[in-house]
Amino acid sequence: MLSILYIVKNRVREERGLRGLSQADLAAGLGVSRQTVIAIESGRYSPSLPLAFRIARYFTVPVDMMFDPEEEVAT
Partner 1 sequence: MNKVKHSRFLVSVLVFGAGTVMAGAVAVGHTWTDAMITEVITIVLAAAYFALTASHSDIGDIYAQREDERQHEVLVKAQSMAWRVMILTAFVCALIAVAGNHNYWQADVIGSVGGFSFLFALMAYGAHDEQSASLSEGVMAGRQHHDELTVPEETTGE
Interface residues with partner 1 (CB under 8 A) are 31-36, 39, 45, 47-48, 51
Question: 67: which strand partners?
Answer: 10
For partner 1, the closer of residues 48 and 60 by Cβ is 48
Least separation in angstroms between CB 72 and partner 1? 21
In angstroms, rounded to a whole number, what is the distance separating the alpha carbons of residues 67 and 13? 12
Least separation in angstroms between CB 34 and partner 1? 7
Least separation in angstroms between CB 38 and partner 1? 10
Question: What are the Cα distances from residue 19, in Å, to 28, 36, 42, 50, 60?
Answer: 15, 19, 18, 22, 12
